[in-house]
Amino acid sequence: MPRPGRNTYSDQKPPYSYISLTAMAIQSCPEKMLPLSEIYKFIMDRFPYYRENTQRWQNSLRHNLSFNDCFIKIPRRPDQPGKGSFWALHPGCGDMFENGSFLRRRKRFKVLNADSLAPSKPSDAAHYLQQQAKLRLSALAATGTHLPQMSSYNLGVSQPSTFKHPFAIENIIAREYKVPGGLAFSTMQSMSAGYPLHNQLTTAWPHMYNTNVIDTAAPISMASSDYSAYGVPIKSLCHGAQTLPAIPVPIKPTPAAVPGLSSLPPHIPAFLSNSPQSLSPTSPQTATSQSSPATPSETLTNPPTLQSVAVH
């Protein structure tokens, strides 16, 4: 029996679904988002099985990216030239996999509809974005240098970092990366309903920054009024006028056909809007949620504000 953590599958097909493989790839990089080609690369690097029949499985993988709500598309900024968008995990899909294992999913993640929660006017969304950016900036300025080293995902979380599910991401991608803080995917899931705290993760894996990063040479301009924290053009956010923009915003419309369901919350913790690109490997920002209404440990007990659901 091959051991996944050692990548000894050789030619055998790994026991992971495309969703799992894609989630691994996305989780493996500090930005928590990857272009399609990098997802391909990640999979092919680690699983020789996928070095053949690329047309077949890549078609399937693209199908999964588009079809599953747990993946969201994040457009490139103009200073990030390249083909295609970035793909990220939907913030609300953190508990997709049981116990941090990528072997099986819990429930199908489905995003819900929430037109009523969106800003009524595009200008509102723009204003909201600006506020988020300012909050984030001030939070970073206030806390950038002297933050409690809460060891990223262990902050306030009782979950001991010693247990690592054999199929947890850190054991899967550990071939190249060692996680200082002992970050387990299962640990992350226990936080904030799986909200990816990009800055903290990057702090936890500073050494990964230059090894797996797509764009290290693109400092984000926080002063820009055209782009949100995630590099999502405000214009693209507003045209739909159905989502709030402080988190990676899915380009694809939320399934409005689902009756009585809602997707995005009226309020999003400010720490969610921290920009991955704004982080520097040499000056890690351990910005905690200064302007956030809830600490990670609090969000443990509170239901996620993001109203997505695991349809079952």
Partner DNA sequence: AAATGTTTATGGCCGG
Partner DNA sequence: CCGGCCATAAACATTT
User: For binding to DNA (CB under 7 A), which residues are involved?
Assistant: 16-19, 35-37, 40, 56-57, 59-60, 62-67, 73, 76, 81-85, 87, 104-105, 107-108, 251-252, 311-312
Closest to DNA by CB, 104 vs 134, is 104
* Smallest separation (angstroms) from DNA to the CB of 104: 6
Residue 242 Cβ vs DNA, minimum distance, rounded to whole Å: 15
Query: Which of 81/303 has CB closer to DNA?
Result: 81
Is the Cβ of residue 141 or residue 311 nearer to DNA in the bound state? 311
As measured in angstroms, the least distance from the Cβ of 281 to DNA is 25
CB nearer to DNA: pick between 56 and 121? 56
Q: Are 246 and 273 in contact (CB under 8 A)?
A: yes
Nearer of residues 5 and 253 to DNA, judged by Cβ: 253
Closest separation between CB of residue 297 and DNA, Å?
29
Neighbour tally for 148: CB within 10 Å: 9
Contact in structure between 192 and 13 (CB atoms under 8 Å):
no
What is the closest distance, in whole angstroms, from the C-beta atom of residue 90 to DNA in the complex? Answer: 13
- For residue 203, which of 148, 139, 138, 133 has the smallest C-alpha distance? 148
